[in-house]
Amino acid sequence: MTRFTVSFAMVGLLIVAISLVGFWSQFAVDSQHSSLEGMISTQTPVVTHRPASDGTQISDNAHPLDQVLELASEVLKSMQANVQDYRATLVKRERIGGRLGEEAKLLVKVRSPQTTGTSPRGLAAYLKFIEPSSTAGREVIWAADQREGELVSHEGGFLNLKRLQLKPDGMLAMLGNKYPITEIGLQRLVEKLIEKGREDRTKGPCQVDIIEDQKVGDRVCRLIQVVHPTPDAGFDFHIAQIFIDIERQIPLRYAAFLWPKQAGGEPPLEEEYTYLDVELNIGLSDADFDPDNPLYNFP
């Protein structure tokens, strides 16, 4: 092998290594500025102080989260019955290791799991990163019943040299991500909210507000806001907001905030996920979750 060939190979390996180290990575910043400003009716949560009861007679076993759990269960049943797949723009931001990461914008295509009928199938997702520039062009595909549950991905731009197949919860795939891709999707979001609500119900009381006529983009939503005044009972968040599309009965935004460091301070953002321009039941096929699809840019 000539010296030129060896040098070229070493450069190639170096570029691939840089790609691996940078996989899923995002710059950590503390600013809470978001491109979503102006697109959401309620972004910074406002905590109202009111009595725990308005005088209505309730049973001894009632809890403020009971109504929320009932609403969430209705939404989940509606989605299981009526949502086969969808395409949307996902804007997300997460605090990882105590640092608030950069806002990311992705094109997502998700096919809901189907457990009945002659052709059962698992959850499947396709992601294409749009922003920030450090991840633009990255594509990721994962399907629960393909490739032994591993995801397949590639980087964008000049780093698009190699197709990677990774365990969704492995160290490399989790870099820059709070949750694995297996947790993606509107249905899974509602399932996790129900699980969390049932857990929090056992820890103690909270404040729940249901606010009508809110908006995410151009969609009219119902806002459900849950407030834990103090972290004493071991709660994970101070304030959680979930925006439900009234007409289509799907969640469009979830955001959680921590307790402010000083009394009266702004609650710091813990995580937020906003789905914009959601198109339901567009007829996604196996080709939409195939890295060899000619519309994609997998090497």
pLDDT mean across residues, the chain: 85
**217 domain residue, yes or no:** yes
Supply the pTM of this predicted model.
0.84
**23 domain residue, yes or no:** no
**202 domain residue, yes or no:** yes
**87 domain residue, yes or no:** yes
Q: Is the pLDDT of residue 210 over 80?
A: yes
pLDDT in tens, 129-150: 999 999 999 999 999 999 999 9
- Nearest CA-CA partner of 102 in 75, 125, 131: 131
The dihedral region occupied by 220, where left means phi > 0, alpha psi between -120 and 50, and beta the remainder, is: beta
Strands (E) across the chain are located at: 85-96, 99-100, 104-111, 124-131, 139-143, 151-154, 164-166, 207-216, 219-227, 239-245, 250-257, 269-280
| Number of domains making up the chain | 1
Q: Is the pLDDT of residue 15 over 90?
A: no
pLDDT in tens, 158-174: 999 999 999 999 999 99
**158 domain residue, yes or no:** yes
The CATH number of the domain holding residue 209 is 2.50.20.10
**167 domain residue, yes or no:** yes
Q: Could you give the CA distance from residue 94 to residue 53 in angstroms, rounded to a whole number?
A: 34
**16 domain residue, yes or no:** no
**243 domain residue, yes or no:** yes
Q: CA 252, 44, 25: angle at the middle one, nearest 5? A: 65
Q: Could you give the CA distance from residue 127 to residue 108 in angstroms, rounded to a whole number?
A: 5
Q: Could you give the CA distance from residue 52 to residue 205 in angstroms, rounded to a whole number?
A: 9
Full residue range of the structural domain in which residue 163 is found: 65-289
- Nearest CA-CA partner of 176 in 106, 117, 226, 237: 106
